Amino acid sequence: MISATGLLAAFRARERSPVEELDAVSEAGGAFVTLTLERAREEARAAERAYARGEARPLEGLTLAVKDLYDTAGVETSYGSRVFAGHVPARDAEAVRRARAAGAIVVGKTLTHEFAWGITSVNPHFPPLRNPYDPERVAGGSSGGSAVALATGMAALALGTDTGGSIRIPAAFCGVSGLKPTFGRVSVEGVLPLARTLDHAGPMARTPADVALFYAALTGDSGDPGYARIAVCPDLHLHELTPGIRRVFEAVAAGCPEVRFSGAQEIYPAYAAIQRAEAARVHAEWFASRAAEYGDDVRSRLAAAQDVALGDYIAAAEARERARAEFTRLFTQTDLLLTPIAAVPPERADQPGHTAFRDGVLPYTVPQDMAGLPACAVPVGSDELGLPVGVQVTGPPGSERRVLAAADALFQRASWKMTPSAVR
């Protein structure tokens, strides 16, 4: 499957056509909840003319899948819920506007876990989303539709959001890449919040190099990454890795020095308190009047979130500051950190929501959201089930270029070649 950077080269050489790329887009696999192909074809023809004139923009003609948490002008945006069925924004979210200004072509809105509150993308309001490597398993969430669109070749680029791992988890489960930037680095204007102090908007693509291309278009950041030391931190491995995931991680991490982290065990409980309290505030008005329209999963979480006390929120905020201080100290000893994304494979789609599954994933992904650190998911191998295994590279605030360069080096070394069964 050709990368976004490869597509741009083929477009410039007139070996491939932006219009032809739209033929791959469909509703198969449940990735999209809304397609915008009529407008996309007009924009693709305009992209072909831009290449003919030698006036192509950085993302000219690349197909873009947009998570249905981002507002899109004139296109239904339900945020994954019946509560907002029929809602059509008047303006694009800022990240969508920037992507379009760089030449990307929106082909549709992708499935999200309802209101982005979940790590499976099992959404009762829409047809099931299938993991492209095993349709009996979840694709990960909450940006699951975006990851599936990439893995199955239906989009070259995608937008996701990450509050507790929602870019990195589905990227790992679907064998693609995605960047959770530094907090605030990519605008969340026009993105429905889940928890305002934890929410991140970010780019997803098939490879780290493609993610870097997209990130530069969204932010203008194309600086020199510089040399990077990378370390591992067993203190942050709070759940035992399955044998297949451990094998892949240890092979990738071979030769990396170890650094220490104090208090890792308090991050996930603190995160849960902050997320619940902030989500309850975001949904206060809607939940009070329309609770019956929520799916059982998110409705039960919001009901429980009503009981977060001020003292619990303050204690969690204090734990977050301790975690930030620990990361600041850690990054005086190394430039980057290499950690797993999940200790367990994706769970079965017919029995989602197990606490053991969440406990095997979120402790690995929430620390970066709590501290607002950039982290890039990169596929590097497969486990004993034949499922993709991703790792993440994390850096201090503002180190996106260095994080992306290291992720690309890992990707190149791993020579990730797997193709999902959905497109074989």
Distance from C-alpha of 100 to C-alpha of 47, rounded to nearest angstrom: 11
The Cα–Cα gap between 337 and 365 comes to: 13
CB 83 within 8 A of CB 286: yes
Give the pLDDT confidence score for residue 61 in this predicted structure: 98
Residue 31 banded pLDDT, cuts 50, 70, 90: very high
Q: What is the pLDDT of residue 27?
A: 76
159-181: buried (b, 16+ CB within 10 Å) or exposed (e) per residue? bbbbbbbbbbbbbbbbbbbbbbb
Which residue in the list 78, 81, 121, 142 is annotated as catalytic? 142
Known active-site residue 166: yes
Question: What are the tokens at 12?
Answer: 């410039």
Is there a cis peptide before residue 166, judged by omega within 30 degrees of 0? no
Between the CA of residue 41 and those of 5, 22, 101, 159, what are the distances in Å? 21, 7, 16, 20
Given the residues 121, 143, 166, 382, select the one marked as catalytic: 166
Distance CA 291, CA 231 (A): 46
Q: Which of 24-33, 200-209, 229-238 has the lowest mean pLDDT?
A: 24-33
- Number of CB atoms found within 10 A of residue 304's CB: 11
Dump pLDDT digits (tens) for 296-343.
999 999 999 998 999 999 999 999 999 999 999 999 999 999 999 999
Mean pLDDT across 5-17 = 96
Catalytic residue among 67, 78, 121, 177: 67
Q: What is the 3 state secondary structure string of 117-163? A: CCCCCCCCCCCCCCECCECCECCCCCCHHHHHHHHCCCCCEEEEEEC
How is residue 275 written in tokens? 């997320």
**What is the band of 28 on the pLDDT scale with cuts at 50, 70, 90?**
confident
Q: Which letter does DSSP use for residue 258 in this model?
A: B
183: alpha, beta or left, given left = phi > 0 and alpha = psi -120 to 50?
beta
What mean pLDDT comes out for the span 88-115?
98
Nearest to 35 by CA among 133, 105, 128, 122: 105
Amino acid (1-letter code) at residue 183: F
Residue 67: in which H helix or E strand, if any?
Answer: strand 63-67
78 is known as an active-site residue: no
Residue appearing with tokens 């065990």: 265
What is the pLDDT at residue 223? 78
User: Is residue 418's pLDDT more than 90?
Assistant: no
The DSSP symbol for 27 reads S
Residue 206 has what pLDDT?
97
Q: What are phi and psi of 246, to 5 degrees?
A: -60, -45
| pLDDT score at 422 | 66
If one counts every other C-beta atom within 10 angstroms of the C-beta of residue 84, the result is 18
Q: Respond yes or no: is residue 300 known to be catalytic.
A: no
Distance from C-alpha of 262 to C-alpha of 266, rounded to nearest angstrom: 10
pLDDT in tens, 357-367: 999 999 999 99
Q: What digits encode the pLDDT tens for the residues 277-292? A: 999 999 999 999 999 9
Instruction: Determine if the peptide bond prior to 262 is cis (ω within 30°).
Output: no
Strands 200-205, 230-232: pairing kind: unpaired
